[in-house]
Chain A
């Protein structure tokens, strides 16, 4: 069963993914596809409960940049863990597009990618499989702690080595 990992904790997930072939439920927060959003723009925009959008790895967040404030969640798909486009999408969302809502990783989300996802700005990860919640939480902290430093500036994680070096030198 898919679990939602957020800041190192498995949390309950109120959001429901609605596939294109299914009806959108009357109430409750839903995450819809880009196709559905484009086709049913008006009715979805009128919903009182939360709205989220799900983008495939080939769909750029730039497509929805004017609507971003309507979405409390942007879910970025990893169709295969080796498809790394969503890392760039997450960074673009959080930086250039200034998106303040939740960016969520969905699809093939694996423990060995947790750290990179975190650093690129993902706020929450949907992890599939039957690994128990406590084990996943332990995985999260292990994955983040494996490497103590980071060379590059990123959205989260350790302060880049370069800055630490020169702060130390200036002090």
Chain B
């Protein structure tokens, strides 16, 4: 993984001291709360319902065991013993004290981490495919470019006060999109052009929130050397023309929509005419320098399906299920990508205790060449596990309650913090997720249902990605009562789609039954081999509407 050089290290340490000074000036009354707010937000510090919340960046979701242990230490020392992994591949602490935030940042800096630009109207943490570098079908490793973009966007003097927040995702996989790339302000796919050169396909204006939109492709190919110049051109157009009169219309998706993709593209290309070829040109030596950090480790010459694995799978059905559901194919024979579901039955999705973090760090060290990834689906990945050691790993995960074999099933719920923590939320979301996972706790039932992405947001800002859930749940407030709307047919990946509202919202007491009704309707009408989303696409929402609402009439 990437290691800081002297420049990177100084930058992060400088920021810690700068922020310490800003906190001191706030406490001395030299800064008003209004003036302090964007400064603290640009360092990931929110004022939530009950306390401050600190969001720590995990660039492109990559961690080593030392960093994970530091996250555990912070949870234990400065918080209530746990952290929450988010859909932006970050981690949030819900209970830090303002007076200790600078110390937390100094702890993070000691392991090459920070909270820079995890909030505020600036370029946020860059996300990437969690299987980067280990998936078989990949043009190039997206982490290389995510790191380049991380550096370019850090303290960018021109783009620190954008109309609204700005999110970039990168994927290098062919045919698969695990990073919801089309739902980002800028989505980059690494592609190879007809001449055999590697560059970027550029999508702009995707996003969720109150106006969900799939991004528009504005360029088939940007050369590597031009990557930053092209991004700078997009950002300049957005900075100048994005709406500032209404924060709900300030994201770039609205600008692209209102300007029209063609005209927007023309404006970007015009700006690119000025930025291209100048100082922003990315030197090949810099790409090589960063790529070297992500060079594949020395894999041993092994073969797939070693007898040790096959025998264990045969003997132990639970282990076999976990391998079948949570383990993905690795590019190197004899290795595997192991997903750790952070969705145990009846617990808040994405939450991990300090002890679990420490244990995962140990497991990563023993079984995964020290590497850990965080996914936008709020799970973890151990990317480099020998297949003949999967059984030992699984036992280690079982010992800490993280061996749930429910990846991409109905128990694997994405869920925002909701009204239990968040000052924006209209309704609680964690308790709904907990109740749904309890209702569907039986794994054989989950396997019968098959792949089903269920996502819950506690308000229209859609942090729980409900628009792209096969089943989405949106919490709304009705005369101080929590109600939940159901959307159907969304999809985050290569078959990107935005779900459609199926009908009137359900009260908290009925939402779990309603989800079960939707699932049972699918089970009754599916054709052989159809996933939930396939059935929905074939039949539309009529059968679901009927079973949800007609009975009641």
Contact = CB atoms under 8 A, between A and B. Distances in A.
Nearest to B283: A166
Contact of A164 (B7, B155, B244): B7
A162 B21 contact: no
Given A91-B158, A147-B14, A160-B279, A82 B286 contact: no
Nearest to B280: A153
A166 B7 contact: no
Contacts of B161: 81-84, 87, 113
Contacts of A76: none
Interface residues of A, number: 39
Interface in A127-161: 146-154, 157, 160-161
Given A83-B244, A119-B157, A151-B155, A165 B18 contact: no
Nearest to A79: B244
A130 to B, nearest CB: 13
Contacts of A120: 157-158
B283 A146 contact: no
B162 interface: yes
Nearest to A78: B161
Interface residues of B, number: 39
Given A84-B160, A87-B157, A120-B157, A149 B11 contact: yes
A162 B158 CA distance: 18
B285 interface: yes
B39 interface: yes
B438 interface: no
Given A82-B38, A165-B5, A169-B285, A116 B160 contact: yes
B156 A162 contact: no
Nearest to B282: A162
Interface in B144-166: 151-152, 154-162
A55 B206 CA distance: 32
Interface string B1-43: 0000101101100110110011000000001000100110000
B313 interface: no
Contacts of B261: none
A54 interface: no
A32 B200 CA distance: 45
Contacts of B244: 83, 85
A6 to B, nearest CB: 18
Interface centre among A85, A95, A115, A119 (most CB of B within 10 A): A85
A166 B285 contact: yes
Given A81-B161, A83-B161, A146 B155 contact: no
A164 B286 CA distance: 11
A147 B15 contact: yes
A56 to B, nearest CB: 12
A60 interface: yes
A149 B35 contact: no
A82 B10 contact: no
A163 B154 CA distance: 16
Nearest to A166: B285
B236 interface: yes
A88 B158 contact: yes
Interface of B is mostly: helix
A151 B151 contact: yes
B239 interface: yes
Contact of A148 (B10, B156, B158, B283): B10
A93 B5 CA distance: 34
Contacts of A165: 5, 7, 286, 289
A96 interface: yes
B279 A146 contact: no
Interface string A84-128: 110111011001100000000000001011011101100000000
Contact of A82 (B121, B151, B239, B283): B121
A151 B152 contact: yes
B315 interface: no
Contacts of B154: 151
A89 B240 CA distance: 8
Nearest to B31: A112
Contacts of A150: 155, 157
B274 interface: yes
Interface string B212-240: 00000000000000000000000010011
Contact of B152 (A87, A95, A152): A152
Contacts of B278: 153
B73 to A, nearest CB: 27
A112 B35 contact: yes
A154 B129 CA distance: 31
Contacts of A83: 161, 244
Contacts of B239: 84-85, 87-88
A91 B35 CA distance: 24
A138 to B, nearest CB: 13
Contact of B17 (A91, A117, A146, A161): A146
A165 B17 CA distance: 24
B274 A96 contact: yes
Interface of A: 60, 81-85, 87-89, 91-92, 95-96, 110, 112-113, 115-117, 119-120, 146-154, 157, 160-166, 169
Given A154-B157, A154-B158, 12 more contacts: A87-B157, A87-B158, A88-B239, A91-B158, A146-B21, A147-B11, A153-B279, A157-B157, A161-B7, A162-B151, A165-B5, A169-B285
